Amino acid sequence: MANETTYAEASRVLEAIKVLEELERNGTISDAEQKALNRARASRKTAEQARLETAATYGGFRSGVTMNLYDEARGAYNAANELLRSGDVEAARAKYAEYRDLQRRIDEALQVAAPEQYAKGELSGGVAGAVLPAGGVAKLTQGMSTVGRMATSAGTGAAVASLPEFGRGEGGFVPRVTNVPPSAPIIGGLAGAVAPVAGQIAGGVTRGVQDIIRGGQQGVSGAALRRMGRAVQRPQVAGQDIQQYLQSLGPEGMIADIPGSPRSVAQGLATMQGEGADVLGRRIEERAGGAGERVTETITEAMGPEEAAYAARQAEAARKSSELGPMYDAALASEEKFDVSALRSGIVMMADEAASNVKSSLNTVLRNLGQEGEISATKLHNARSALSDAITSAKIAGQSNKVRQLMPLIDDMDRRLDTIPNYSKARAGYAESSSIQRALDEGRNTFSGGATSAMSPQDLSDMLKKMKPVEVDAYKKGAREYLAALMGTSRSDAASAWQQFDKAWNREKLELLLGKPDADAVIQRLFAEKEFSGTRSDVLKGSQTAFREEARESLADIREPDSMQAPSPLRRAYQGIINEPVNRMINEVLYGSRRSNLNREIGELLTMQGAERDKIVPILLNEAKRLQDPTRAQQIVDALTTAGVMTYGATRGE
């Protein structure tokens, strides 16, 4: 009956008896009330026992949840009240002893009156009391390493298992410690050490189940997203803007191009058998096959076709031979004679005082002019051509003083020859054609040269300002021809071109020629192809990668894969005994039947391009962010499992 009567029911029965007995003593009780009183008296003992058992259960629970320190707590509470009220330390000490001893007598009475219920309550309280610190430690240690969590939990477990016996003892610290059996901290500490591992396993299984339930996005499974999310997490955490990097590569860029963990994943996948390696290798090779075409297309869009310089040379040569040549010939066939006596005298006087390099050119002109008399238009023209060649050579050699001295002579000859019909027109055409040809040749040398011979951006800017539009156009064609030759004669065309434009001067000169938008487009394309070439070299050198993996496995016991630092003995023990077996077990349970698909999906993720890549990258970055912290469900399961194992160990150790 006692087990069937609740505390509330027992209280109602006893309260009814109290009220009815008062009526009986006063003589005001009715017959019905008397009968009810008689029935209640028959169940008085059961009700009193039920209320006593409930009080014993509560008393045991209270003692257990406070680690048998409730008597001390009650004494301390009343002592504090007394001290605040009176300020008398001795009175406070007396209150402490009074209420501590009072509570002990109450607990002892409850144990004697209902020992079974008191013990049950104490056990339940002990479990509840252990859950609080165990749960707190589980929450507090979530950010720690597994080894740190194990150490903290072991200490907490040992303390929680020992506290009840410590609290049950009497006297000072040492007598209470001796009351703790040696098995209590040992069992509690072992359970505490195991608890984080159990929590990690449970949390890992929960995370795996979540991945399976959560499904995929963009046609990719949750497991593949998690694997690649972890790969992109490290570069992102290290400060590398993955999206910006991929944008700099253009639509052909792949996740496999990202330096660091993503490219390492691609290297590892390339050494494995399966669809993933096939997809990875095929798509990288397909991209490599179009490198030359992409570079040519970009440069052509910015600078024109690569054969433009050749076509311009042919056009100018044809112009001279078919148009300007006949015009010259007709002009020079003139019967007009020229008196150049004054010109001869001036040249002779200049030659006597000129420097040796100028004197040599003047003597050549004198030979063409003859020694005396009038000369024909042809002879004067030949003398002019010789002088023009000398001036051009002096300009190329940087002999500005020589050019300055010879220019008045050629101006004098031009004034004489321009009196011949059509001569000035032919001469202007020849001059323009020759300037175009020179610009073509000079443009080809724009990006070449070393520390002592390279043209500076300022020199190029000054030169372009002095050129006519047709000359600037020819200069660009010459520079375009250089790029075509550079890529056509290099084993790794894009990489070689990038080496030329990974120099500040050449970048500035390219911008002067094309303008910033077109120059940036060319630089971006060369950079992207250089990166693609590096990815192909790193990922598809299968034999070298296999050797690296083999070496890495052989050195795994002495080097951490991330830090390349020698792990401590405790760390090696943890990896060998706990971490690796646990991870293998979880992977086998969660992914064993899906590894083939996972292999293929990772290969596809690594090689996505264009819009498909741009859609999946934010998803992977969100996954990386999510991986930095466990999911809420994972945290709860981890914490509950950790707390549960610690609680079990603590209560078993009591």
The whole-number pLDDT of residue 557 equals: 45
Task: Return the SS3 of 82.
Answer: helix
> What rounded mean pLDDT belongs to the chain?
76
179-182-185-190 Cα dihedral, nearest 10 degrees: -160
Q: CA 529 → CA 493, 500, 513, 524, 587, distances in Å? A: 9, 14, 22, 9, 38
Would you state the pLDDT for residue 562?
A: 44
* Confidence check: pLDDT of 33 > 70: yes
Average pLDDT of the segment spanning 36-53: 65
> pLDDT of 335-367, one tens digit each?
888 888 888 888 888 777 777 777 788 888 888
Q: What is the average pLDDT across 273-283? A: 87
Selected residue with higher pLDDT from 499 and 552 = 499
End-to-end CA distance of the chain: 32
Q: What is the mean pLDDT of residues 131-145?
A: 64
Residue 514 to residues 48, 160, 455, 494: CA-CA distances in angstroms?
Answer: 102, 76, 17, 19
CA dist 430 and 325 (Å) reads 9
What three-state secondary structure class fits 387? Answer: helix
Mean pLDDT value across residues 363-372: 82
In the prediction, which pLDDT does 272 show?
80
pLDDT band at 559 (very low <50, low <70, confident <90, very high): very low
Predicted pLDDT at 441: 93
Q: How far are the Cα atoms of 153, 161, 313, 600, 645 from residue 131, in angstroms, in the given order?
A: 12, 12, 90, 45, 10
Does residue 587 register a pLDDT over 90? no
Q: Which residue has the higher pLDDT, 435 or 215?
A: 435
Percent of the chain with pLDDT over 90: 17
pLDDT digits (tens, 9 = 90+) for 535-555: 998 888 753 545 455 434 533
Collect all residues with Cβ–Cβ distance below 8 Å to 116 and sequence separation of at least 6: none
Question: Which has more pLDDT, 468 or 543?
Answer: 468
Least confident of 70-84, 120-134, 161-175, 233-247: 161-175
Lowest-confidence segment of 79-83, 221-225, 576-580 by average pLDDT: 576-580
Q: What pLDDT shows up at residue 404?
A: 87
Stronger pLDDT, 400 or 35, i.e. the higher one = 400
DSSP string, 312-344: HHHHHHHHIIIIIHHHHHHHHT---EE--HHHH
Categorize the per-residue pLDDT at 140 as very low, low, confident or very high, splitting at 50, 70 and 90: low
In terms of pLDDT, which residue wins out, 506 or 140?
A: 506
Identify which has the larger pLDDT, 22 or 386. 386
Q: Is residue 611 a contact partner of residue 178, using CB atoms and an 8 Å limit?
A: no
The band of 583, judged by pLDDT with boundaries at 50, 70 and 90, is low
Proportion of the chain above pLDDT 70, given as a percent: 66
Please tell me the distance from the alpha carbon of residue 415 to that of residue 335, in angstroms, as a whole number: 17
The band of 636, judged by pLDDT with boundaries at 50, 70 and 90, is low
Higher pLDDT, 616 or 40: 616
